[in-house]
Amino acid sequence: MIELALEKSLFGPEGKMKLAVSCQIGKGELVGIYGPSGAGKSSILRLISGLMKPEGGLLKVDGEVWYSNVETVNLKPTKRNIGMVFQEHSLFPNMSIAENLEFALSKGQPPQIVQDLLERVGLKKLASKKPSVLSGGQKQRVALARAMIRKPKILLLDEPFSALDMKMRAKLQEYLVQFHNEYGLTTLLVSHDASEISRMAQRVLVMENGKFSFDGEPRHFFQS
């Protein structure tokens, strides 16, 4: 499903770091990306989504070339059908949560999808409220729902639940897994929470200094 081999120079607190990663991810996999801060985890997601431009390599998704150095292809993020959830929920404060979801609709999509998704995450009653009155957990639920509106092929999450308390986190992890299964997504979850990855992912990519130092089952890594 996802075939990537990408390079990028990053500038972190430790100075310059060369990110060089390559892997293949199959359709329907839920992969965790784990590693210390500054290892480049978020950058991978930004590279895949197109928000950051690689310096070289290849990115192929479902047979479509999204980035290729050789063929000079670089598909704009707007043209890549992905769902993304950030750590800071980035809901638009000037819109109600229903409007936030409506904003995500593509041309031709029936507006009913908004209501359905709101109901799915249990927030239908708060549809007309602005994000500022919602709790952190509620906001992330909206963000997750919004990422689902366009029925993306890939879901990228960058430490989406780390700002939430245990109970909320568990609830949201549940939603995530449900969405992953229902929509047949290929999901990449960046997290620094080992238990989160162990619980949800069948595979973990561990990043160290811009490279994958481990690629395999979570229990094999986290036991040691």
Partner 1 sequence: MDFSPFYLTLRLALFTTGILFLIGIPLAYWLAFSRLRIKYVVEAIVSLPLVLPPTVLGFYLLLFFSPENPMGGFLDRYFDLRLVFTFPGLVLASVIYSLPFMVQPLRSGFTGIPKAWIDTTQTLGKGRWVTLSRVMLPNMKSALLTAGVLSFAHTVGEFGVVLMVGGNIPDETRVIAVAIYNEVEAMNYGQANTYSLILIGFSFLVLLITYWLNRDKSRVLSYD
User: In the complex, which residues of this chain contact partner 1 (CB under 8 A)?
Assistant: 49-51, 76-84, 86, 88-90, 92-94, 103-104, 106, 131-132, 136, 139, 146-147, 149-150
Tokens found for residue 83: 């769902």
Question: Which value, in Å, is the radius of gyration of the alpha carbons in the chain?
Answer: 17
Question: Residue 25 Cβ, how far from partner 1 at the closest point, in Å?
Answer: 18
Measured from the CB atom, the residue of 90 and 115 that comes closer to partner 1 is: 90
Pairing, β 154-158 against β 186-190: parallel
Question: Residue 29 Cβ, how far from partner 1 at the closest point, in Å?
Answer: 20
Measured from the CB atom, the residue of 84 and 188 that comes closer to partner 1 is: 84
Measured from the CB atom, the residue of 81 and 209 that comes closer to partner 1 is: 81
Question: Residue 126 Cβ, how far from partner 1 at the closest point, in Å?
Answer: 16
| CA dist., res. 66 & res. 210, Å (int) | 21
Measured from the CB atom, the residue of 35 and 50 that comes closer to partner 1 is: 50
| CA dist., res. 31 & res. 97, Å (int) | 29
Measured from the CB atom, the residue of 146 and 180 that comes closer to partner 1 is: 146
Sheet holding 154-158, edge to edge: 82-85, 154-158, 186-190, 30-34, 203-208, 211-216
Question: Residue 109 Cβ, how far from partner 1 at the closest point, in Å?
Answer: 11
Question: Residue 135 Cβ, how far from partner 1 at the closest point, in Å?
Answer: 8
Host H or E run for residue 103: helix 97-104
| CA dist., res. 141 & res. 24, Å (int) | 29
Give the CB-side neighbour count of residue 199, counting CA atoms within 13 A: 13
